[in-house]
Amino acid sequence: MTPMEKLERCFARISALNDAVGLLSWDRDVMMPAGAGERRASDLATLEGLRHELLTAEENAALLAEADPGDDPWRRANLAEMRRQHARAVAVPARLVEALSEACSKAEMTWRAARQASDFAALRPALEEVLALTREQAVAIGEALDLSPYDALLDGFDPGMREATITPIFAALAQNLPPLMQKILARQEGQSKSGHAGIAPYPLALQEKLGRTMMARVGFDTQCGRLDVSAHPFCGGAIRDVRITTRYDEMDFLPAFLGVMHETGHALYEQGLPKAWEAQPVGAARGMTLHESQSLLLEMQITRSEAFAKFAAPLMQKLFGDNGDWKAETLHRQMTQVKAGFIRVDADEVTYPAHIIARYDLERAMIGGQLAVRDLPEAFNARIKELLGIDVPEDRLGCLQDIHWPLGLWGYFPCYALGALTAAQLYEAAGRAVPGLEAEIGTGNLAPLLGWLREKVHARASSVSTMRIIEDATGRPLGAEAYLAHIRRRYLDEVA
């Protein structure tokens, strides 16, 4: 085999290990009995170690230097991705890879109980260990790639993304959103709040049926994925086996339904990646900014729209029964109600970025050493008070609500807000490119939009950078303008 062929074979084997890790992680979060947690942590650490050994094998350095991708742009991009992943991997010793994997698995299990009991003290030792190991990893990668520790973490979730790019965009949001939120709250205060879509309780079996029906309707391939329940909604699994989860509340169907739509957006991206390159680095999703853009586009831009409510309300009424008010305008009003709340995943699209800006500021301080884990609850509550004007009553509703830090995912949170901005920019561009898009959505036909996304985002996988994909699809670099225009249009009837 040529050096390029040897590398492709090696990375295909790494892809198989990725699938195994994904499925074992899904099982841990969905089905695994609690008593198996310690052994599962060890198993996952072993697989992470094997993956690291494969990637950093001594012969790979020479192969990466010798490989000739020829004139095929996808092969050239694939080699570039291989070199990027290899450079990150060789910077981190194998013992750190396994130690971090095991620490994260144990912290995740501890987090489950701590969150339920609202007991931050129970999580603190495990979280301190994960943070220390994550810092060690960030410093090692940063020194190898000439990046700050936090930029090294960002680059792992969105290649090429930097703190210097994010901070001014978030500053624009922090400046513009508070006065917009106050105007929207004042306007909604004067509007009718009578009526709810249906009357509780909403049987869990019917909520699940609604989720599965909508998943299939918007394009999810049910032969290549599934829906389950977990403590924290997520999308995971393996290639051609995309697993999504939600969580149900019998007294309110909207959080689970919107969670399903959010995770389905992630799944549609995974299912739309090019099969010809599915086991290679270039065939993977480009990064978490684009991934979050796909989930937020479906949940925020589409599902919460007036057009989609006209389609969804009659379907929901047929499923749940005639009790209550199932008018489209009632459903739409509920899905676009703005309120400063505690839980990020349940936040409306106006207040959502504030949750992310708070976490961005806090995690930078933790990685930089300016914020100790013991001080996290107080710092978290203070930042939420500053940005959203609410007092967090307990840690379950504050710094314990998210699984990300126990899993070592420092650097991930910014992608949520960047994804929201990208979603607005992509949807704006799709509206220009797809004739009658809103009318199609009003009939529940998302095929035209999905076709556009398949071409402009999904099919490009990791062949070019995140910013190149966004600019090629929308005609301009990523910014806050389209998102802010969308908020003004939807909630204040202001047209630029």
Residue 289 to residue 297: CA distance in whole angstroms: 12
CA torsion angle 405 406 408 411 (round to 10) = -10
Residue 452 to residue 441: CA distance in whole angstroms: 14
- Outline where 285-413 has alpha helix (H): 288-296, 306-320, 328-335, 352-368, 376-388
Q: Which two tokens stand for residue 330?
A: 């009632």
Residue 17 to residue 14: CA distance in whole angstroms: 5
Q: Give the full edge-to-edge strand order of the sheet including 241-246.
A: 225-229, 241-246, 235-238
* Catalytic site includes residue 455: no
Residues 6+ apart with CB under 8 A from 75: 4, 69
Nearest by Cα to 438 from 300, 257, 268, 302: 302
Active-site residue (options: 8, 48, 98, 263): 263
**25 touches 44 (CB < 8 A):** yes
Residue 97 to residue 100: CA distance in whole angstroms: 5
Residue 218 to residue 212: CA distance in whole angstroms: 10
- Outline where 118-162 has alpha helix (H): 120-145, 149-157
Strand partners, 227: 244
Residue 445 to residue 437: CA distance in whole angstroms: 9
Residue 342 to residue 349: CA distance in whole angstroms: 14
Answer whether the bond into residue 201 is a cis peptide, omega within 30°: yes
Which DSSP string do the residues of 201-270 spell out, in sequence order?
---HHHHHHHHHHHHHHHT--GGGEEEEE-SS--EEEETTEEEEEE---TT-SHHHHHHHHHHHHHHHHH
CB atoms within 10 A of CB 399: 25
Q: Which two tokens stand for residue 475?
A: 């005609």
Residue 248 to residue 259: CA distance in whole angstroms: 9
What are the catalytic residues?
A: 263
